[in-house]
């Protein structure tokens, strides 16, 4: 994550993983989720917080999930139904449950199909927020598989290249690939230039946004450094056509097609609700796992040992900084903004819970 998004030192409260995990689980249980699903859902949020992906940790997302359960738009005990199936594919009705536990359930089906046939995939509709794609893609790693996860956002806020009306969500996509000694390759991005909830984060930490990140309401890209305006659209990754926004736009459209239209709920801008596409393929369906992991180590080490350009200390690859951050945060605790701790204090009282860190 760019420096500008980090919680300023003065506003940080460090909380150990264990009490925050316990608090998050307790909130999910209090909202009516079964123990297992509460544990699974908290695991996704703590995974993101431990790896420094705070846009998808407890700070931004948990309060919106709480609101969803309270408003009845999220079902705490969903009935998950496989509506159509082939040896390798499944169409799944998520029963209106939260993706934090529905997506891992669906990924289990995908992995079982890949184990038997080499590849597997599933689309999921009637489901809530995924909670970040990386976690779900990484579920394939322990099975020596490559994992893919993508989700439409359920809300059109990204303008197409040259467009003045939003047509796509931030439509995230992730690939996770196992390695040997090196931290696994986990490439997890939004297909917009910047994630929607990075805007909320920017407001919280008082950060400006960079040129080429957002568009004015008439579609014109904002090419100056500005505070987060009241109204804006997001630009596709790349920002402007000259800088390759047609690539971000097209990749966002791929996610929209595979996650939403292929799941039978139509384009994202019609569905206005998330749709997922999950996939896994067995490495040994192509080549021996040992050789693959050895070659992945060569690849990832080669990237990480690239001579840096002037002004940079090192070169990294997708997943490396996150793995390093996880080690640090397991040791030192997770830095939260004081405002987030205040929110936990509030919900603790409302739900009659007792958190160790508040």
Residues 103-122, interacting with a second copy (CB under 8 A): 117-121
User: Is residue 343 near a second copy by the rule CB under 8 A?
Assistant: no
**Shortest distance in whole angstroms from residue 217 CB to a second copy:** 10
Question: How big is the chain, counted in residues?
Answer: 358
**Shortest distance in whole angstroms from residue 240 CB to a second copy:** 9
Question: Smallest Cα–Cα separation from 90: which of 276, 274, 222, 286?
Answer: 276
User: Is residue 163 near a second copy by the rule CB under 8 A?
Assistant: yes
| CB of 354 closer than 8 Å to CB of 28 | no
Q: Which two tokens stand for residue 84?
A: 């159509």
Contact window for a second copy (CB under 8 A) among 19-27, 49-57, 275-283, 333-341:
275-283
| CB of 284 closer than 8 Å to CB of 161 | no
Residue 40 or 191 having the CB closest to a second copy: 191
Cα-based angle 278, 159, 257 (whole degrees, multiple of 5)? 25
**Residue of 47, 65, 185, 336 interacting with a second copy (CB under 8 A):** 185
- C-alpha 221, offset from chain centre: 25
Rule CB under 8 A: which of 134-153 touch a second copy?
Answer: 146
**Residue of 70, 77, 84, 328 interacting with a second copy (CB under 8 A):** 84
User: Is residue 238 near a second copy by the rule CB under 8 A?
Assistant: yes
User: Is residue 287 near a second copy by the rule CB under 8 A?
Assistant: yes
Rule CB under 8 A: which of 8-67 touch a second copy?
Answer: none
Using only the alpha carbons of the chain, give its radius of gyration. 20
Question: Smallest Cα–Cα separation from 154: which of 110, 201, 99, 218?
Answer: 99
Which phi and psi (to 5°) does residue 263 adopt? -85, 0
Contact window for a second copy (CB under 8 A) among 96-104, 132-140, 246-254, 338-346:
246-254
Rule CB under 8 A: which of 319-338 touch a second copy?
Answer: none
Give, for 15, the enclosing helix (H) or strand (E).
strand 12-15
**Residue of 314, 328, 330, 345 interacting with a second copy (CB under 8 A):** 314
CA distance 71 to 63: 12
Contact window for a second copy (CB under 8 A) among 62-70, 137-145, 232-240, 343-351:
232-240
């Amino acid at each position: 994550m760019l420096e500008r998004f980090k919680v300023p030192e003065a506003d940080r409260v460090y909380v150990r993983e264990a009490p925050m995990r316990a608090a998050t689980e307790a909130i999910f249980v209090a909202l009516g989720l079964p123990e297992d699903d509460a544990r699974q859902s908290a695991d996704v949020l703590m995974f993101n917080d431990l790896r420094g992906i705070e846009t998808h940790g407890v700070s931004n997302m948990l309060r919106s999930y709480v609101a969803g359960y309270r408003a009845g738009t999220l079902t705490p005990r969903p009935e998950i139904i496989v509506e159509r199936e082939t040896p390798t594919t499944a169409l799944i009705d998520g029963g209106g449950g939260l993706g934090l536990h529905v997506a891992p359930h669906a990924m289990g089906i995908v992995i079982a199909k890949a184990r038997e046939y080499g590849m597997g995939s599933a689309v999921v509709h009637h489901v809530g927020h995924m909670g970040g794609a990386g976690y779900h893609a990484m579920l394939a790693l322990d099975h020596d598989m490559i994992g893919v996860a993508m989700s439409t956002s359920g809300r059109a806020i990204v303008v197409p290249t040259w467009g003045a009306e939003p047509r796509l969500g931030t439509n995230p996509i992730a690939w996770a690939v196992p390695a040997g000694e090196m931290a696994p390759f986990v490439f997890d991005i939004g297909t917009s230039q910047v994630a929607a909830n990075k805007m909320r984060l920017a407001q919280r930490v008082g950060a400006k946004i960079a040129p080429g990140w957002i568009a004015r309401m008439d579609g014109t890209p904002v090419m100056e450094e500005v505070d987060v305006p009241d109204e804006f659209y997001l630009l596709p990754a790349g920002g402007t056509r000259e800088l390759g926004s047609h690539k971000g736009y097209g990749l966002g459209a791929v996610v929209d097609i595979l996650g939403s239209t292929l799941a039978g709920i139509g384009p994202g801008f019609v569905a206005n609700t998330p749709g997922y596409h999950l996939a896994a393929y067995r490495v040994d369906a192509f080549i021996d796992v040992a050789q693959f992991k050895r070659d992945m180590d060569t690849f990832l080490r080669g990237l990480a040992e690239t001579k840096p350009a002037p002004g940079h200390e090192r070169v990294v690859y997708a997943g490396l900084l996150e793995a390093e951050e996880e080690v640090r945060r397991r040791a030192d605790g997770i830095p939260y903004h004081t405002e987030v701790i205040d929110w936990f204090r509030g919900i603790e009282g409302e739900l009659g819970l007792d958190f160790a860190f508040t």
